[in-house]
Amino acid sequence: MNGRSPLTPVTGATSLYACQYDQRFSYCAYIPNPVTETGPQRRPLLVVIHGTDRSAQRYRDEFQDFADSTGAVVLAPLFPAGIGEPGELNSYKMIKYRDIRFDRVLLAIIEEFTARYGISERQFLLFGFSGGGQFVHRFFYLHPDRLLGVSVAAPGNVTLLDPSMDWFTGTRDFKEQFGTELRMEELRRVPAQLVIGSEDNSILPSGKENPFWLPGVEIAGNTRLERIRSLRDNWTSSGIRVRYDEVPGAAHEGIKLLSPVKDFLADTLNANDNYLK
């Protein structure tokens, strides 16, 4: 034995485990093949971020076929509702909330999980739907060096790479918010996907009805479909490689978006020499 205490089971779906960095948060996983005790292994890691409904285990399960076909390990964190105040639903989406940096929580979960399972990868694939899509594209801005690829599905609010607007609508005060500069060349290195249902076109709450409303929110549009198209155009004009998918007939339904997501993630792995099978 190498001294670590592996989670059980060492293959298949795990239970939810508390993160030792901050036990308010937890994670579950799916491991498609046995993890040996012989030393760190190079194997792809896919991190899946839930939406407002917190269905972390559901999304973990939906990616089992992807894991079995690619050898990727699927890790699904859970950011519970009610952190900080009763009924609070949205804190993780903006990365910062009170004294919590959710990007750091995620990185701590990844470090803990990969150490216990002997997975050596520093870079990983990242996917999120709805509120998870909000978190994921903002995490991308902060940590492009950690990502093999990023897939953003149907976010309700978007942050444009726009130096004329403050966070979260734009990035003018990004350094003041997070203590680091945007690293545009690293962002351009990461393959990115934006994906949404063609019928995800409900008018979103505005003003006091929107807990995130700020002047400039509507610049990106009034529906998720308009906003993700604005984000696509913004990223493309910034030199980011974007695959854009609209799933015919789908509304705000995350499971219906997963086929093109899995295609994108598999293509990203196949383009990476470290993971060619």
CATH of 12-271, one of 3.90.1520.10, 2.40.50.100, 3.40.50.1820, 3.20.20.70: 3.40.50.1820
Residue 260, token pair as written in the block? 């093109």
What pLDDT is attached to residue 118?
80
**What angle in degrees, to the nearest 10, is found between the helix axes of 102-117 and 131-142?**
80
| HSE-CB for 277 with a 13 A CA cutoff | 12
pLDDT of residue 274: 67
Q: Please give the residue that has the higher pLDDT: either 161 or 205.
A: 161
Give the mean pLDDT of the chain.
92
So where are the chain's domains?
12-271
Confidence of residue 41 (pLDDT cuts 50, 70, 90): low
pTM of the model: 0.93
Query: pLDDT per residue over 93-111, tens digit each?
Result: 999 999 999 999 999 999 9
Average of per-residue pLDDT across 218-246 = 97
Are 19 and 48 spatial neighbours (Cβ–Cβ below 8 Å)?
no
Look at 75 and 9; give whichever has higher pLDDT: 75
